[in-house]
Homo-oligomer: A and B are copies of this chain.
């Protein structure tokens, strides 16, 4: 296609066998493939990854699926057939890493649990991501992003003091778990490469969000106070919040210390507040946050958002607009210098703008290399070239719907 990265990536000598579907697992293997790993995505003959049918569509093709599965090679294989299982184990012999996000117990039902896999390839790193993890009383429950958000306590601290528990608008459980699995399997790969000993890396959506909130958990664990919802205000510093502006937008102002507060008071034309004992220290401002807010808000309501943010930044004060999804795609930093959106070239639908990787490496660039596979696109390459299967045998397996 000519627009992808052609130089080898940091993980170009790593082979990943990918049984994962939809979001959390594929996000992990997308990252590994962005970093140069050879990812072989294994899908069910006939239907494939459920997300091939997820909106949005372009020319009848799911672009939800497309971006998450860039760079991967795609093969089909029915693991429920004994022959399919045998072929899969031959692939396991060739792999460094195996990733799956089935409901726990599924691999064991297929007679492909870790106990079996490690006898076939003792150096294998087996990474899995599920709702609650592979151990414990809830292991068998279906895990969804909203379940992770609800049971980790995240929803209980998101939203407004007089409102309901609120989910985070992004799929935080799924994505953060996928990123965590990427780190976990690379640590295990490091160990495997030096010792020859593989292992299982078991990531749960709920665990991941619980870990992400450790500084909030620590308030309860250390003091017994249960943190609640504070809207956009943080508990530890003020004014560090969103404020309404003249053009009916809101902006972020983050006065994280007393120096910033003094600069803000001068700039608001309220130098009298600098020595006001109710507002002079961060501690007093946190305590009197409602009064501080009233003062700042009275002033921000007279200003337009973008202009105000620019002026605050010029004074060295942390401030920014609240972007919507359209605005991030136009920003000179995010879309410009950091190239967080790129155009991929696809065989049928042509150019498609997608979100790029956020892992920026100086020597082995990460990102889009090749378009996502059609269902079974690389069957010949993987089965006949890698596993040295005779083309006639592949044809027979296809007819038997094993491949």
Which A residues are closer than 8 A to B by beta carbons?
Answer: 10-11, 13-14, 23, 31, 35, 54-58, 63-64, 67-68, 114, 132-133, 135-139, 141-142, 144, 146-147, 150-160, 163-172, 175-176, 179-180, 182-184, 186-191, 193-194, 197-204, 206-223, 226-232, 234, 236, 240, 242, 250, 252, 254, 256, 313, 318, 320-329, 331-334, 336-338, 340-341, 352-364, 366
Q: Are B240 and A146 in contact (CB under 8 A)?
A: yes
Q: Which 4 A-B pairs have the closest CB atoms?
A: A136-B337, A157-B169, A214-B355, A158-B169
Interchain Cβ contacts under 8 Å between A and B, 7 examples: A150-B252, A157-B169, A179-B212, A184-B359, A184-B361, A201-B359, A226-B325
- A199-B363, A252-B146 given; A170·B209 CB < 8 A: yes
Closest residue of chain B to A229 (Cβ to Cβ) is: B169
Which residues on B sit within 8 Å (CB–CB) of A209? 170
Shortest Cβ distance from A346 into chain B, in angstroms? 12
Per DSSP, chain A at the interface is mixed
Partner of A165, one of B23, B138, B322, B340: B322
Q: Are B222 and A153 in contact (CB under 8 A)?
A: no
- A137-B337, A320-B150, A340-B207 given; A13·B166 CB < 8 A: no
Q: Are B187 and A338 in contact (CB under 8 A)?
A: no
Which residues on B sit within 8 Å (CB–CB) of A151? 320-323, 328, 331, 334
